[in-house]
Amino acid sequence: MKNIAKENFVLTLGPSNKAIERVPSGSTVVFESFDCFSNKIQSEDQTFSDIGWDDVNPATGPLYIEEAEVGDTLKVEILDLEIGDQGAMTTVPNAGTFAKTVNEERTKIIPIKDGKAVFNEHISLPIDPMVGVIGTAAAHEDVPTGTPGDHGGNLDCKRVQKGSTLYLPVNQPGALLSMGDAHSNMGDGELLICGLEIPSVTTVKVTVLKGQEYPLPFLVNDDSVMAIASAETLDAATVKAAENMQTFLVDHLKMDPIEAGMFLSVGGDLRVCQVVNPLKTVRVEVAKSVIESYNYTLQ
């Protein structure tokens, strides 16, 4: 099993990055990752300006999958996700949803104890680890790891966690998969501008799918299938994600397009992943039992 150390990271996802490791399709790989602050915030005396934007969201990799050719789909199964024993949050003045009311820098260090994030003396949250940045190389240019897109990237989707499977496009030979920016906890929206940022060790299985055209990125877990989309506005991201899920229902379950639209209006759920990145990200969820009722099995 390959292990990629956290010191091997990129700050963009694109064609100019050189692979750190190569593996055949079907391999299991471990990605060790810094938190989104490059592990440089360790106390509440440090603030975001001590780091700046240049060192934010390092993504471990990239990994070259030998059979992956342009036009293929990369299946990434998250087998395990381990996190550190403390996480950090920071404020950035004039940024995020609370730009009008959060006007100073502040850092909060939150310990992880007995499976809970101890937010303060009153609130402890059961940890719910997820991967914020996960993506293949973009098609035409290097995209900052802080920006989401059709290639994945900074999706900040809290359902990307242990037990889930993320399908991503292969835009460059070898796919060039990278990941990082884990959170022990994050609410839908990531409203402040960060989740509980924490170092991580993520174990994945990578498999190349030939001739499988899912609307990507596409996410599956034990109870749901999800079409994820990012755009400049929430409205545009919503339309894109809804159309992608409709396309899945039409192409793979053979629903009529109008029937699929009707179903999504009564049986689909629109969720906001994040609203604080350069592009906004949403997902449209459908119960996995619906897919199974059509005797359809995802590859």
**Tell me, what's the pLDDT at 124?**
98
Say whether pTM exceeds 0.95.
yes
Count of residues making up the chain: 299
CATH architecture of 218-293: Roll (3.10)
* Bridge partners for 251 per DSSP: none
What are the b/e assignments for 258-282, b being 16+ CB within 10 Å? Answer: eebbebbeeebeebbbbbbbebbbb
Q: Where in the chain is the domain with CATH 2.60.120.580?
A: 2-209
Q: What is the pLDDT of residue 54?
A: 84
Residue 80 has a pLDDT of 98
What's the token pair of residue 116? 């809970």
d(C-alpha 217, C-alpha 226), whole Å? 9
User: Cα(51)–Cα(196) distance, rounded to whole angstroms?
Assistant: 17
Pairing mode, strands 175-183 and 59-65: antiparallel
Write the DSSP symbol of residue 146: T
**What is the pLDDT at residue 55?**
87
What is residue 20's predicted lDDT score, i.e. its pLDDT? 97
- Which architecture does CATH list for 2-209? Sandwich (2.60)
pLDDT average per 10 residues of sequence, the chain (299 residues): 97 98 98 97 94 91 98 98 98 90 95 98 98 97 98 98 98 98 98 97 98 95 98 98 98 98 98 97 98 95
Alpha-carbon distance 123 to 21, whole Å?
Answer: 42
Is beta strand 280-287 parallel, antiparallel or unpaired with respect to 224-231?
antiparallel
Q: Where in the chain is the domain with CATH 3.10.28.20?
A: 218-293
Q: Determine the pLDDT at residue 39.
A: 97
Closest by CA to 9, choosing from 1, 21, 27, is: 21
